[in-house]
Chain A
Amino acid sequence: MTTAVLRPLLRIARRDMARHKGRTILITTLIGLPVGAALIVGMLLRQPNVTGDGVGYWAESALLRLEVATADAQTLESNLGTTSFARVDSATALLPASTGDPGLPGGGGLPVTVIIETFDPSNPLEPRRYQIVDGVAPTGAGELAISESLADLRSLAVGDPIQVYGLGQQTIVGIAHVREQHDFTTLLTSPEQPLPAAAELPNELTTLGLGYRSSSYYLATDPGDFGRFANNVSASYRRGSEPYPSNDQFFTDPTVIALLAGTGLLCVTGLIAAAAFATANRRRIRDFGLLSATGAEPGQITTLALVEAGLLGTVGAVIGATVAVIGFNTVGVGLLTANTNSDAIAVFAPRDVVVTIVVGIGAAMLAAWFPARTVAAVSTQTALAGRIPLRSPSRWTAPLGLATGAAGLSILAVWNDSNSGGDRQSLALIVGIVLGLGGAALLGGPIVSALGRLAARLPIGPRLVLRDNARQRTRTAAAVGALTAMFVIPVVALALIGTEQRSNQLTFPGTTDSSPFEQANRNRIVGVVLGLDQELSPAQLAPLDDIAAVEQIVTWTQLSPRGDPRAFDPWTGGPSFGAWDEALAAQLGLDQRQLPIDSPNELRAVQLVPGSLDWPPQELIDLYDSSGNLSVRLQVTSVSTDLVVEPAMFLLPDTATSLGLEPAYRAGVIQLAASPDAATIDQIRNLTSVTNTGFAAQAGIDLPPLSYGGYLDTPYVSSTNFDAVKAIVVGLAFVSGLLVLAVTAALVSTESDNDLATMVAVGGAPGLRRSFLARQTFSMAAIAAAVALPFGLLGARALADPGFYGNFDFTVPWLWVAVLLVGTPVVASAVIGTTMRSKAVTPLRRLD
């Protein structure tokens, strides 16, 4: 199609938009709202703030460390305008920048902070930690093995030379998979390799607590570079992007999440838009007929509709994006700052804006596509007569809907069964949800048609409603589809919440949801352990203080194993012995299914990188006081990817020494799962060390019988009032459903006015219009509710986690489900019936 041909189509589309302002406003709003919402999601995700609610965010903020060399506090303050940093006297080894020596392997770039680990092949535990995948293990001074990630990052290979601060020139003799450190940038040295003391390091390190999502480490090689570098970091920080590419998972990318959120919302609003387009096309069918008679091809008529949709989508998406960006960066930032006790920042991410606008335009065009094809297929003379012939629904629609829905539910079930995080799992979840919702939405059309055929025996009122639904099947099916999707989601949520609540009651029979004390303390963080061998400055501790749940921070200054100052990065800086040892478990008689439930203590293990840590449930963690007495035993009963940090796996120094191992200094958050009393909290506050059950056993520590270990896995939502959550879910769905129904009723009203006027003309009661619209609203909502109920329950069943304890009882909160699925149609029809005009005031449409 040539540009010349597009021109008149564009002209017609543009003028149609101006002529039909109501439709224009509706469609642009339906597109603009999700686009704006998606952008706001993206901008929220790009906020660097730490909030009391966002414990998971805080966990990432702990990564927000900017390590720079040869800088002092004054320089940093002047460049970054922040005082939230403290100086660290030394660090692990530093792989210097190669910018000054392009001949070095890796070809330049910023220097990399690395972890130096001693690799002792004679230690039987070492193979659990490191696996040489290429070359050999280092055997003496001057030899190094490096982690795969470091090899990839700098394109290093066996045989390459490498410069390391404090170690000088080294030769790479092996590439290792460093399991425990999530394969972070690591150097493995031989035990014969002398490690540099802190005093030997040429530079000081300065650690900055910068904020969310800056997961890389930086070094500037000289003061001159530092200013430029700090400015770059500061600028990127301020615009909400990462200053340096990190190993972020696909689904942690704000753009992707914003896109997913926008797409999800557009699925609902797009269906309503499709109904609006179908209605508009029906009203304009004579215009299309005239165009066809004038010589327009079906493709040109489709193009006209798509051009118009594209224009509407563009206007809607641009307005939505503009309002979202301006609104968020003016009002939103202020609100966030006021309500989260942190400094929100203005964010403008061009990539988010472009992507969401493009998706918005695409959604508008997709919504117009099917109605456009329908009118383009109408014969010219039929269109000129003002008719769109009724076609029987495809007999494949219903089976297709059922098959699609079943496929979606199956994928969800498989996902739930094998969920271990990661991109593929996330993608499977999304595909499953989309297919499930799509299948449910597809059933709307066949049901509407079937009801239309079955209406013959009904009284005139319902008969007219069902017949009109069937006659305007495109519009009705789209509206029913949107409503179905809107109902399925809260039904799933309600069933999952009900099941969690029930499981919680079974797991903790002595507790009730109404106990304010237990609720207040459940899943509450009562201590944070940082593996930093240093005193933290008040500025450094400030972000932790912002977390309301953190009651005390315990540091480990007295546990320095060698007495030399050695800073351990909370995430990667210290050795860890957390790998589950099946043999040890057998030796200890650990049977994860047989332990009684009688202890309030639990430690929830948390993966820092989803899918990368195979943390075993049932691990026992003993907490010792400063005198070395066992005070509390905690059990790792679940592994979560959504909370906090890695579990702490610590050894007492003496125990470590006896084992010939270095103590593990790792970050950990101790969580109390259920009903800790004040004494327990105080006890935990006074804890100073933690040791691993397995190593304690190896060290000959006499472990008490396992009977007092406990299952204390509480669902995340258990810290919240279940009924409040249900009320919120139902309330949101209810309001959204009412909005969708209001728009749909307006469309029905627009489309049916002529018919209604005719009915009034032949003697229909004055209130006919009102009752007709109320009934039609009810019918569409009721059909959607009827389809949503089985899909929602099946979806929830597929997603429900049987849990670790076997205390699984799929429980549907029927009252809330009924409130939603019965209440919405009833209330919506009542509202529509009350607010609509009682008589058809629109005259019969002018023939010309």
Chain B
Amino acid sequence: MTDQKSIVLEMRQAGRQYVGPRGIVSALADVDLTVRLGELVAVVGRSGCGKSTLLNLAGGLDQPSLGSVRVNGIELGTLSGKELAATRRRHIGFVFQALNLLPTLTAAENVALPLELDGATTAAARTAALTSMADTETAALADAYPDELSGGERQRVAVARALVGDRNLLLADEPTGALDEATADAVVRVIRRRVDTGTCGGVLVTHDMSLAAYADTIVRLRDGRIDSVTETNFTDADFERADLFGTDPEGTLR
């Protein structure tokens, strides 16, 4: 029972099909994936293998054609657009590769936005935003506008927004794609640390195996299906060593 409660994302035989000019196209099929609190799952695969589709289904940006997708026990496939939006506001946080922050809002206002859209007062939302930003070491950037932040800082602010308030499912879609290696590493570590607090679970879509190694589980997609699932079990010492020698945690030279 306790185990069930800790599940934040549960995909069962989830699939997504589209009707195109050449008939039905299956973008994703038979996906079984579970993410628990304190767990980070990396999804890897070539372009077009269905990574983004999986993330869209998990985040309620799209609805499955087959199977089920549950977030904190809520079946997303049956929700209306309005209910999906509310679910995103309250349970799910996204971090994209770019364009994460609205340019007209300060960092703190960006982080507070989902709470305010959900009816929270400005003061309460800001308090929660600053708390979340503190967790991503961006509290000092609270009043800066996105234009004034570096790429890494913006992504860390985005992480803070993704997990502000009671949200406990972090979905990161190539969050480091536009960053240099060191910055990318720092951003993923922030995600890892937030997940390690046990208050959230996360899905990290990436091409970079060295970053995927930060996850507890690596799911490899091929042609819209799960090709393999690998438990990483790397320790902090592995990552420190990797940093030291310029390798990934498995010891492969980058």
Contact = CB atoms under 8 A, between A and B. Distances in A.
Given A290-B99, A381-B56, A848 B105 contact: no
A292 interface: yes
Contact of B96 (A11, A19, A384): A384
B156 interface: no
B117 interface: yes
B5 interface: no
B118 A15 contact: no
B195 to A, nearest CB: 20
Given A295-B88, A381-B56, A384-B99, A15 B104 contact: yes
B99 A7 contact: no
Interface of A: 2, 4-5, 7-8, 11-12, 15-16, 19, 286-287, 290-300, 379-381, 384, 847-848
B99 A295 contact: no
A7 B122 contact: yes
A435 B147 CA distance: 48
A23 to B, nearest CB: 13
A293 B162 CA distance: 10
A386 to B, nearest CB: 8
Given A290-B100, A295-B85, A848-B151, A4 B119 contact: yes
Contacts of B117: 5, 8, 291, 294-296, 300
Contact of B104 (A4, A16, A380): A16
Given A8-B109, A381-B61, A848-B151, A293 B94 contact: yes
A302 to B, nearest CB: 13
Contacts of A299: 82
Contacts of A384: 61, 96, 99
Nearest to B151: A848
A295 B114 contact: yes
Interface string B114-144: 1011111110000000000000000000000
Nearest to A286: B99
B48 to A, nearest CB: 14
Given A15-B105, A19-B104, A847-B178, A297 B81 contact: yes
A521 B181 CA distance: 90
A286 B100 CA distance: 9
A249 to B, nearest CB: 49
Nearest to A301: B85
B59 interface: yes
Contacts of A380: 61
A2 B154 CA distance: 30
A294 B89 contact: yes
B238 interface: no
Nearest to B94: A293
A754 to B, nearest CB: 15
Nearest to A380: B61
A293 B61 contact: yes
Contacts of A291: 102, 113, 117
Interface string B86-98: 1111101010101
Contacts, number: 97
B246 interface: no
Contacts of B99: 286-287, 290, 384, 847-848
B82 A297 contact: yes
A308 to B, nearest CB: 11
Contacts of B98: 847-848
Contacts of B122: 4, 7-8
Closest CB pairs A-B (n = 8): A295-B89, A15-B104, A8-B116, A295-B88, A297-B85, A380-B61, A286-B99, A293-B94
A293 B102 CA distance: 12
Contacts of B51: none
Contacts of A16: 104
Main secondary structure of the interface of A (DSSP, over half): helix
16 contacts: A4-B122, A16-B104, A292-B61, A294-B89, A295-B86, A295-B87, A295-B88, A295-B90, A295-B117, A295-B118, A298-B82, A299-B82, A380-B61, A381-B52, A381-B56, A384-B96
A292 B119 contact: no
Contacts of B223: none
B100 A2 contact: no
Contacts of B90: 295
B109 A293 contact: no
B38 to A, nearest CB: 24
Given A7-B116, A8-B109, A19-B103, A293 B88 contact: yes
A848 B85 contact: no
A847 B99 CA distance: 7
Nearest to A5: B119
Given A16-B104, A847-B178, A294 B119 contact: no
B100 A12 contact: no
Contacts of A2: 119
A796 to B, nearest CB: 48
B208 interface: no
A684 B143 CA distance: 85
Most buried by A among B92, B113, B151: B113
Most buried by A among B61, B82, B120: B61
Given A15-B105, A294-B94, A296-B85, 18 more contacts: A5-B117, A5-B118, A5-B119, A8-B105, A8-B122, A15-B104, A290-B96, A290-B100, A294-B161, A295-B92, A297-B82, A297-B85, A297-B86, A298-B85, A379-B62, A381-B52, A384-B61, A847-B98
Nearest to A382: B61
B94 A8 contact: no
Contact of A12 (B81, B82, B105, B121): B105
B109 A11 contact: yes
Interface in B136-187: 151, 154, 161, 178
A35 to B, nearest CB: 27
A380 B92 CA distance: 14
Contacts of B52: 381
Nearest to A18: B104
B89 to A, nearest CB: 3
Contact of B102 (A12, A379, A848): A12
Given A295-B90, A297-B85, A12 B104 contact: yes
A22 to B, nearest CB: 15
Contact of B59 (A8, A19, A293): A293
